[in-house]
Amino acid sequence: MSALKFLIDGQLEDGDLTMRVINPATAREEFDCPRASPAQLDRAVAAAKAAFPAWSRTPIGERKAALLKIADIIEANAAELARLLTQEQGKPLGDATGEVYGAAAFFRYFTSLDLPAKVIQDTEGKRVEAHRRPLGVVGAIIPWNFPLILMAFKVPAALLAGNTLVVKPAATTPMATLRLFELIQDTVPAGVLNVIADANDLGGAITGHPDIRKVSFTGSTATGRKVMAGAAEMLKRITLELGGNDAGIVLEGSDPKTVAPKIFGAAFQNSGQVCIAMKRVYVHESIYDAMCLELAALANAAVIGDGLEQGTQLGPLQNKMQYDRVLELIEDSRKHGTIIAGGETPDRPGYFIRPTIVRDITDGTRLVDEEQFGPVLPVISYADPEDALARANASPYGLGGSIWSTDLDKAYDLASRMESGTVWINQHADLAPNIPFGGAKQSGLGVELGEEGLAEFTQLQIINMAR
The reply to whether 275 belongs to the active site is yes
- What strands, in cross-sheet order, belong to the sheet with 126-134? 118-122, 126-134, 458-466
CA distance readout (Å), 438 to 353, 394, 426, 449: 30, 19, 20, 9
CA-CA distance, 25 to 127, in Å (whole number)? 62
The reply to whether 241 belongs to the active site is yes
Catalytic hit among 33, 275, 294, 371: 275
Is-contact 331 367, C-beta < 8 A?
no
Q: What share of the chain is helix, strand, coil (3-state, %, to 5)?
A: 40, 25, 35
Catalytic hit among 241, 294, 448, 456: 241
Tell the burial category of 366 from Cβ atoms under 10 Å away from its Cβ (0-12, 13-18, 19+): middle
Tell the burial category of 283 from Cβ atoms under 10 Å away from its Cβ (0-12, 13-18, 19+): buried
CA angle 120, 123, 129 (to 5 degrees): 30
202 Cβ contact partners less than 8 Å away, ≥ 6 residues apart: 36, 38, 41, 168, 196
Q: Are strands 440-441 and 397-398 parallel, antiparallel or unpaired?
A: antiparallel
Is-contact 198 36, C-beta < 8 A?
yes
**Mind telling me the catalytic residues?**
241, 275
